[in-house]
Amino acid sequence: QTGLVWFRRDLRTHDNAALNTALQQCNQVHCVFIFDRAILDSLPRADRRVAFIHASLQELDASLRQLSGKPDGGLIVRYGFATEEIPALAAQLGAQAVYAARDYEPQARARDFQVQTALLAQQARLITLKDHVIFEEREVLTQTGKPYGVFTPYMRAWLAKLGDVPPRAFDEVTPHAPRLAERPPALSTPLPSLGDMGFEPGNLPDLRIPTGMSGAKKLLEDFWERMDQYEETRNFPSVKGPSYLSVHLRFGTVSIRQLVGLALQRRLQGSEGASVWLSELVWRDFYFQVLANFPHVAEHAFKPEYDQIAWESGEHAQQLFQAWCGGRTGYPLVDAAMAQLNQTGYMHNRLRMVAGSFLVKHLGLDWRWGERYFAEQLNDFDLSANNGGWQWVSSSGCDAQPYFRIFNPINQSEKFDAQGKFIKRYLPQLGALDAKSIHAPWLAKPLVLAAAGVTLGTNYPHPIVDHAEARARTLQRYGVVRKTQ
Ligand code: FAD
């Protein structure tokens, strides 16, 4: 039979569930990626993620071509609506089965259902396979068969289920690679350029973020040297502590099975850093299962009573929001974090917590506004992890921070960026301030500010809110849910 592999967020040829299964089950296999207008049409024209995908597809195409051993054995790339393109392509190629990695987001599920229905009408089918996670939403359940809403027992059950054996990779595709078919001449047009689709590369090339499978490999090799120190370094944004692999996990240029296998192996050798890093990968699975089991979280608070909270609204709220988005709150760590996000599409995990908490618990703004802004800006935006993170900071989610725990942005700054190194990288106008004054410039003596060339209200804003007042307002705001805690 003829199969069609539909690459979506699994842009690699190694350890790939859909590609491997298709090659085993079919005599002839075609591969396709659709630049789906259902997603692209609403994106800004200079979206770093589109540029990242585009660059990663070039490598995927080359890799498929090499594996197939045929000059035209590469990837078919289309620009259109996946719900139309996939059934049409399957018909054109005479494919009886379309293989894809399973997606857990509500919109993606609806899309896949539509594609499945269309394929069935033409005597073909959509076969989806587990690829993005180690365990899916029904694989790790409580003893009473319910999904977990708290992380620690989930992680315990997850680790017990995994055991000491690294997850099995999908076999090497090489033995079956000759089954990769040549692209029919009518479909062998080269990858459309970003410009052809109305996009610009944005600043991705300047950021030198390594793309594709080779980029993921490079980052992994670098992190492999640092993994043992992960626990000590991961909370300090000026230090190269984390792996920076999130964008690769997002687009599947690296395999989660491979990462878990490597972390497990190192953990079994006694590495505390590997053990903590593995638990971060478990958080990833945790939020995937939350979204799949409780899809209402995509729009609502995990706990319904948190939907009752009255957030700030009106013009003033809009002004506060714009100041937060633009990194003009007057709290240097928050502003530097937002500058990092706006300039690079990445934000350090500690800062996602600090900046997120600031939006909700200092500015009193609806966490969904922040969630939406992160979704637009983050290169690694993933609905499940982003939603989980925002529900955590706003205290409305599963295993969330208790509502009365309100990060003090000044203390966080003193603790995690003591010398202000990170702040200075993103807020050069504060570059000459000393380590004592940089966390809360408005508390510094006028002489100190003058000597450092800082004029509040001119080259750096006054604080947009007072911490103590904001804290009191938040406790009051959360009063509607207090009785449930
Ligand atoms: P590492 O520290 O090297 O971690 C390795 C991997 O583990 C990450 O790449 C990621 O896949 C996973 N991971 C780590 N922490 C978490 C977590 N808390 N939840 C789920 N997975 C985790 N992560 C995203 O991938 N996409 C998002 O859209 C996203 N939005 C977030 C929003 C908020 C408000 C918060 C608090 C966190 C968010 N995170 C998100 C989680 C985390 O901040 C990032 O995964 C991490 O900073 C990515 O950097 P890294 O790859 O260097 O991480």
- The response to whether residue 385 sits with its C-beta less than 6 Å from ligand 1 reads yes
Domain membership flag for residue 404 = yes
Say how many Å lie between the CA of residue 309 and the centre of ligand 1: 27
Q: Which of these three, 84, 115, 132, is where a domain ends?
A: 132
Q: Which of 14, 77, 64, 18 is nearest to 179 (CA)?
A: 64
State how far the Cα of 89 lies from the Cα of 77, in Å rounded to an integer. Answer: 11
Distance of CA 188 to the CA centre of its chain: 32
Say how many Å lie between the CA of residue 103 and the centre of ligand 1: 18
- The response to whether residue 387 sits with its C-beta less than 6 Å from ligand 1 reads no
Contact 393, 360 (CB under 8 A): yes
State how far the Cα of 268 lies from the Cα of 282, in Å rounded to an integer. Answer: 16
Please check whether residues 95 and 143 belong to one and the same domain: no
**Atom in ligand 1 nearest the alpha carbon of residue 390:** 34
**Residue 390: active-site member:** yes
pLDDT at 403: 85
Say how many Å lie between the CA of residue 340 and the centre of ligand 1: 15
AA letter at 292? A
Please check whether residues 223 and 313 belong to one and the same domain: no
Closest C-alpha residue for ligand 1 atom 9: 246
Please check whether residues 350 and 388 belong to one and the same domain: yes
Between β-strands 28-36 and 125-129, what pairing exists: parallel, antiparallel or unpaired?
unpaired
Q: Which of these three, 244, 273, 293, is where a domain ends?
A: 293
Query: Of the residues 9, 105, 276, 284, which should be mutated to test ligand 1's pocket, given the most ligand atoms within 8 Å of the CB?
Result: 284
Domain membership flag for residue 67 = yes
- The response to whether residue 291 sits with its C-beta less than 6 Å from ligand 1 reads no
Please check whether residues 310 and 455 belong to one and the same domain: yes
Domain membership flag for residue 416 = yes
Please check whether residues 143 and 286 belong to one and the same domain: yes
Please check whether residues 244 and 356 belong to one and the same domain: no
- The response to whether residue 245 sits with its C-beta less than 6 Å from ligand 1 reads yes
Say how many Å lie between the CA of residue 352 and the centre of ligand 1: 9
Closest C-alpha residue for ligand 1 atom 20: 284
- The response to whether residue 382 sits with its C-beta less than 6 Å from ligand 1 reads yes
Query: Of the residues 290, 349, 365, 401, which should be mutated to test ligand 1's pocket, given the most ligand atoms within 8 Å of the CB?
Result: 349
pLDDT at 484: 55
- The response to whether residue 353 sits with its C-beta less than 6 Å from ligand 1 reads yes
**Residue 224: active-site member:** no
**Count of C-beta atoms within a 10 Å radius of residue 245:** 20
Domain membership flag for residue 484 = no
Please check whether residues 287 and 143 belong to one and the same domain: yes
pLDDT at 77: 96
**Residue 324: active-site member:** no
State how far the Cα of 266 lies from the Cα of 4, in Å rounded to an integer. Answer: 37
State how far the Cα of 260 lies from the Cα of 100, in Å rounded to an integer. Answer: 22
**Residue 369: active-site member:** no
Catalytic-role residue among 158, 324, 369, 390 = 390
pLDDT at 405: 86
Q: Which of these three, 111, 132, 153, is where a domain ends?
A: 132
Say how many Å lie between the CA of residue 284 and the centre of ligand 1: 7
pLDDT at 202: 87
pLDDT at 480: 86
Domain membership flag for residue 178 = no
- The response to whether residue 234 sits with its C-beta less than 6 Å from ligand 1 reads yes
Please check whether residues 52 and 8 belong to one and the same domain: yes
**Residue 349: active-site member:** yes
pLDDT at 402: 85
Please check whether residues 244 and 150 belong to one and the same domain: yes
**Residue 283: active-site member:** yes
CATH number for 72: 3.40.50.620
State how far the Cα of 290 lies from the Cα of 150, in Å rounded to an integer. Answer: 10
Say how many Å lie between the CA of residue 116 and the centre of ligand 1: 31
Say how many Å lie between the CA of residue 132 and the centre of ligand 1: 15
- The response to whether residue 407 sits with its C-beta less than 6 Å from ligand 1 reads no
For 170, phi then psi, to 5°, come to: -70, 140
Between β-strands 2-7 and 76-80, what pairing exists: parallel, antiparallel or unpaired?
unpaired
Contact 400, 305 (CB under 8 A): no
Closest C-alpha residue for ligand 1 atom 11: 246
Here the tokens at position 29 are 């296999």
- The response to whether residue 244 sits with its C-beta less than 6 Å from ligand 1 reads yes
Say how many Å lie between the CA of residue 239 and the centre of ligand 1: 16
Asked if the interface predicted TM-score (ipTM) of this complex is over 0.95, the answer is: yes
Please check whether residues 123 and 140 belong to one and the same domain: no
Catalytic-role residue among 311, 312, 376, 408 = 311
pLDDT at 483: 59
CATH number for 229: 1.25.40.80
Q: Which domain holds residue 250?
A: 133-167+215-293
Contact 377, 202 (CB under 8 A): no
Please check whether residues 445 and 312 belong to one and the same domain: yes
Domain membership flag for residue 223 = yes
Domain membership flag for residue 90 = yes
pLDDT at 429: 98
Q: Which of 202, 349, 368 is nearest to 280 (CA)?
A: 349
Catalytic-role residue among 367, 379, 386, 392 = 367
Which residues does the chain have with pLDDT short of 70?
Answer: 482-485
Torsion angle of alpha carbons 257, 291, 286, 37, nearest 10°?
Answer: 30
Please check whether residues 141 and 126 belong to one and the same domain: no
Phi-psi region of 182 (alpha: psi -120 to 50; beta: other; left: phi over 0): beta
State how far the Cα of 14 lies from the Cα of 38, in Å rounded to an integer. Answer: 28
- List, as residue ranges, the binding site for FAD: 230, 277, 280-287, 380-382
In the chain, how many domains are there? 3
Domain membership flag for residue 194 = no
CATH number for 460: 1.10.579.10
